Every structure is written in structure tokens, then in C-alpha cells.
Structure 1
């Protein structure tokens, strides 16, 4: 008797959930007060359920909630209903053949397939990826655009909770102000403060090099995506002038961008996001390329909820080249006013400890999803209803 039964139905839920505190990003992205999320529920004929999630954020992502819904409802679900979940690679190849790009929509399906396979086999999805290497992973805490005076009390509060590394969002203020912000924080906390700066494409090359000239005199660990994503030659120029690591985020979507960044040695580290990069399968491919190129990775996040964070954790705990000088972004659910999973039960003292539960390792509150959803779509036998 087979351990797997065929896929019977897809369900999609569109939710908008406020952040616990509005998040000020670069001048390109503005202020985020709520987060859109598309939840995917895939059910097998035997009743086994797997979950996926997509986390669009326009203009950070080209995908929107409605484009994700359309891709899954109109293209992927009709072809996947009736198939078996364990052929994950074949399903990814099929989705690629049906639609180019659309990484978030593909990623939600991919996460659900890993969740299903792990549950059918009664093992964590991490075992499907080679097995756990990291029993615990430290977390970082992000700080929105602002001043050092905004940062000081929050850093002190989070340090008391166990956080040792922090991501400063920049890219909105004049470079002189950003330099003052960094200088004030190091003067107050000392050189042991582990910091990464993320400009979210907010700077020109001139501004990036001016910031780098100053930051080279500090213990800054990492600068992420200072310039526009298509200007990879500018990204390389920043790397060549920096004494700290430089990473790509928006410049990296899929395998082609990864290969180009590696071939041209544009960065020191890669920022991986399981939703943005197309799910566990595609993100693991990027991680494998980074490993072959002797480049570390940072498991980063969008404004994510527990399903995406759990999928990212299933992958991250298996990677030998996780950056060890900073924490990783498994704290997204702590920034939300609500969540529909129990992922936060794995977080304590600014550390996440993966459990041994099957699939993605989380419990999902489906009643809460139904209560919060303002759009629900059910897909069965190649048909859909709203």
C-alpha cells in the first residue's frame, strides 16, 4: 500500500494582518503597517493536509496577491490535482514550464508539497533535504529607518531578551545622517555590537561608496543591497571597496541571477528568502551554488508568517554554510500583531530550536485563517469557485 495518495484539492486564502509596529523601510519602499499573505492549503485524497504561503510586497516583489492567486488557481492547481505530492522536482519543472518567474506562487506550492511529504512519511521536511546540522539558530532583530535615538531603547530592550545582532534599515536619509546613526550606536554599545545595514536599493553608487569609506573604520559586519538590483556592477564596486561583507537580496531572484553574481564575484554573501526565491526546492538550489562558490548565506525574510518561516527553517537547519557572525531572520512572526501558526513556540531567548514534528513542523489554526480571510478560493477537479 502506498504511503501517498493523490492531490485532491487546493484552497487559497488572502489575508491582511497588521504589524505590531509600523516598519519604516527605504525611500523606495516607504512604511509598511500591514502585511498581505496568501495561504495555500493542499489536501490529498486520504485527507492529509499541507500548507504553503506567499508573502508579496509591492514594489519589493513584482508579484501581487492577485497574480499569485491567478498563477495557482488558473495554471498550477489544474495540472497538479490528481498527481502525487512526492514528485516535488517534477512538479517544480512543470510549474516552470507553465509560467516563467512567479517565484512566490511556485514557492507556496513547493512548501505545501514538502509539508505533505513529511507528514506522509512522518518525518520533518529537513530529513528530505539531507538532515539537520544546526540544532539551534540565533536570531537577528530588524530596526526600521530612523535615528540612533530611535534605535537605542529598542536595542537595549532586545538585548535583554537575548538578541545579539541587529539589522539597521537605511536608504531613506542623507548619507551623513546614516553615518551619524552608525557612529552613535557604536559609541554607545561598543565594538561588540553585531550590525548589518540594509539599504534596500536606496543609495546611488556614490552614496554607497561614501558610506563604505566611513563604515570601513567600524566593526560593521555586513551591508546588504545598497544599490538598485540590476546594477550588479555597482554592487561589485561596493564589495571591492569594503572591509566588511556585502550581500545581495533584491539582485537575487532565481538561478540565473545567482550564477551571474557568482561568476562576476559581486558579493561576499547571499541573502536567501524562501518565499521570494521560489520555495524550498529553488532556494536550496541557490544555497548549493553559494556553497560551491565558498560563499556563506543568511536566511533572511520578507514580512512573513509562520508557514514561510517554518519552511525556511526546515532548509536553514540543513545548510553547512550559514553565516555564523550574525543571527538569522526567523523572528518575523514576533513582529506581527497575529499569526495563524504555533511557530513562536520554537523561539526562546532570541534563538529558534527546530522540533521533530513531521512536515514543516508547525500547527496551523485553520479556524483563524477562515475568520481573517477576506478572499477564499476552492479548487477541485480543475474547477474553481470564489
Structure 2
């Protein structure tokens, strides 16, 4: 089998908050008529520069056309040469590598008439416990809005939440107090996610305030600036709660292992550059005796299905993971979205080949946009994924 063409389609899909995320849907065509699909998720994030989609499509065609899609390892090596790691969380090259690697796995698994998880050696589970995100409080009046989010999502079966913190600690504390008062043991806050906003000393002060409201807390996430491994280590020695950090390059992961900076690695294909790279990072964590969770940038169903296949094949995911992206959007581009039930992300049925999701061409046209431009989106919107207030 040979690759005959690469198609990239930009889509813009609003979240329930009003913020519009732009993604790129990947199609890899083959000479056997099989098409692999993938997702370059969430280009609407910092750093604030865009990708010329036409130029990217031409460049990827020059790398992929005529190649055997089963040469996944070699093609990934070449993708790293063209779109290298930069030790940055939202580095756009990893988004590109991720979408192409998704589509390669989908194409190859379809050709073999198996699911992607079977390409990974099978499953150790069929579902992943996941949490719904509560976005960062900027103003005290947002506390009531977020309490209503908890009410609504609890009715849908989501009983575990991840709280973004660090911008308004008074509001964060007020929210936690309200959750404890209204929901008690019905609701769990699995993590406080600082998203690198504070230095480790300020994060430590905030942690001491917020952990008075321990509602099943599993971990503290990203409580130091990016790549501040010493700061993570200092904080890890002070708190009894596990420290978690995202993996966005193998050099960074190596340093975190060497400096004993974290307890739990947050691994997401979008940030490390694809399913192939994510599996390597998870195996490295396992060798180092570390647990993993599956992270997210809040993907659509294609990217989330890829993560479900990955997460259900890993043995060292022992705590609540994050992928709930399809629940955050008003629409999608597939015929059937991935399934959530009782707070779990279910992997696509084993009888569905490849990633187990099918593009809906009408929805693809509905949400299609001309480019990945930023327009007048503010920095605060990019950081907090919200509409203007």
C-alpha cells in the first residue's frame, strides 16, 4: 500500500463558553482506496502565530506521497526533523505530528481490519475514568456559574472535576467551599491545575489554602513555570500530594525523571507529537516507576478516540484522566461522537476498525473555515478558553 494524497481541512467549532477552537482534520489517501483520518487539535492557543495550511499541506505531501504508511516509525522520525521539539507546551509542530500519526494508525489498522488498540497489543481496560474541567476563575461572580456547571454535569454522570486555579485564589477557595457545602461526597475534585501561572513558592502558598478543601484530591498539576524542574522538586518535597506535569518533549521528560520533579506524568498525544511518541513517553514513565494520566487540549472525537485507544492499552494509568473534549463543544465532525457514561470515556467498539470513528462530510463542510487566523481573540481568552467579559 502506498500513500497517494494528503488533505488538510480547517474547522472552527465553538465551545459552550463561546470560545471558537480551530482544528485541522487530516485525510491520508492510499492506492487501495482506504483513507486514514486524524486530527491536529486546538490551533487556537498560545503562542500567537498561525500556520499557513496550504503551505503545510504541500510540505506534508512532499514527505508522505509514495510512502508505505506502515513505516510509522520512520515517518515519525522524519516528522520530527521537519517539525522539531522545542521544549514548549503548546508547540505547534507537535500538533502537526500528532494529526499525521493519528491518521497513519487509522489507515494501517483499517487495512489490517483491526482496531488501533489491537495494533498496540490489545486492551487492559475498555473505559477510562475522566474528569470534567472547571475553567479558571477570573472574577468572584464566576463562582456561581461554575457551581451550575457542576450541577449540570453531575446530572450527566460526571462526578469528578479538575479545577483550574491560580488567577483568583479567593474565588477558587469560595468555589471549593460551595462545592463541599452543596455536594459533599457526591463530587470529587481530582486536581488543582495551576497551568504554570505561578512560581513554586506562590503555588505552595495557594496549595496550603486550597487543600483545606480536600474533595478527593489526587494530584497538584503544573505548579511551577514551564521547565522549572528544580521548582517542581522543591514543591514535591513540601507537599504530601502527588505532583503532576505534562510531557511535551523527551528531553523534558528525561530531566523530570533525573531531577525527581514529578510523581505522575500527564501524557497527551497532542503535546508530545502523536500516538507513537505518547507510547514511548508512557513506557519511559513505567520504567522510571511513575504513574501516568492521559491529558488533553480538549480534542474533538477523532483525537479523543485516538486517546481512548492509547489509554486503554496502557498499564500505568491508575488515576483519573482528562479527555472530555467532545462534551465541551456544540458540534463535531463525525457521525457518532465518542461515548461517555457514568463519568467514563469508553473506547470505540473493538469491531470498529481503525480509530473507530467516521467522518461526516456534511458536518465537515458546516464547520469548515478558510484558515487558522486569530482575528481579534485576546490573550486572556487564549489562556482561559472563554468568551469576553
Range of TM-score over shorter length: 0.7 to 0.9
Partner of 1:27: none
Deviation at 1:320, TM superposition (A): 0.7
Q: Distance in 2 between matches of 1:70 and 1:253?
A: 25
Partner of 2:68: 84
SS at match of 1:83: coil
Q: Distance in 2 between matches of 1:59 and 1:45?
A: 36
1:151 is matched with which residue: 146, 150, 153?
146
Partner of 1:332: 325
Contact 1:103-1:278 at 8 Å conserved across structures: yes
Deviation at 1:345, TM superposition (A): 4.9
- Cα deviation, 1:18-64, whole Å, max 9, x if unaligned, reads 11224xxxxxxxxxx1101011111001210001111244554x485
Contact 1:39-1:54 at 8 Å conserved across structures: yes
- Cα deviation, 1:87-129, whole Å, max 9, x if unaligned, reads 1001111222334221111111111000001100010011111
SS at match of 2:136: coil
SS at match of 2:298: coil
- Closer, same or farther: CA 37–281 of 1 in aligned 2, 3 Å: same
TM-score of the pair, normalised by structure 1: 0.85
Deviation at 1:366, TM superposition (A): 2.3
- Closer, same or farther: CA 344–368 of 1 in aligned 2, 3 Å: closer
Q: What are the equivalent positions in structure 2 for 1:61-76 lying under 5 Å apart? A: 62=47, 65-66=50-51, 70-74=55-59, 76=60
Contact 1:235-1:266 at 8 Å conserved across structures: yes
2:39 is matched with which residue: 53, 57, 60?
53
Partner of 2:29: 43
Query: Do residues 229 (structure 1) and 214 (structure 2) align?
Result: no
Partner of 1:383: none
Query: Do residues 98 (structure 1) and 93 (structure 2) align?
Result: no
SS at match of 1:145: coil
Partner of 2:125: 134
Contact 1:13-1:40 at 8 Å conserved across structures: yes
TM-score of the pair, normalised by structure 2: 0.85
1:19 is matched with which residue: 9, 12, 15?
15
Query: Do residues 361 (structure 1) and 347 (structure 2) align?
Result: no
- Cα deviation, 1:304-326, whole Å, max 9, x if unaligned, reads 111111111111110111133x2
Contact 1:208-1:227 at 8 Å conserved across structures: yes
Q: Distance in 1 between matches of 2:335 and 2:260?
A: 40
* Greater CA drift, 292-301 or 37-46: 292-301
Contact 2:166-2:203 at 8 Å conserved across structures: no
Contact 1:297-1:323 at 8 Å conserved across structures: yes
Partner of 2:374: none
* Greater CA drift, 128-137 or 110-119: 128-137
Deviation at 1:151, TM superposition (A): 2.9
Partner of 2:173: 179
SS at match of 2:272: coil
* Greater CA drift, 127-136 or 215-224: 215-224
Aligned residues: 355
Partner of 1:322: 317
Partner of 2:334: 341
Partner of 2:276: 281
Q: What are the equivalent positions in structure 2 for 1:363-382 lying under 5 Å apart? A: 363-375=358-370
- Cα deviation, 1:334-370, whole Å, max 9, x if unaligned, reads 1101101145353233222221111111111123213
SS at match of 1:8: strand
Partner of 1:109: 100
- Cα deviation, 1:274-317, whole Å, max 9, x if unaligned, reads 12220100111111111111211111211311111111111111
Unaligned runs of 5+ in 2: 86-92, 372-389
Q: Distance in 1 between matches of 2:130 and 2:12?
A: 25
Contact 2:8-2:26 at 8 Å conserved across structures: yes
Contact 1:56-1:64 at 8 Å conserved across structures: no
SS at match of 1:35: strand
Alpha carbon RMSD of aligned pairs, Å? Answer: 2.1
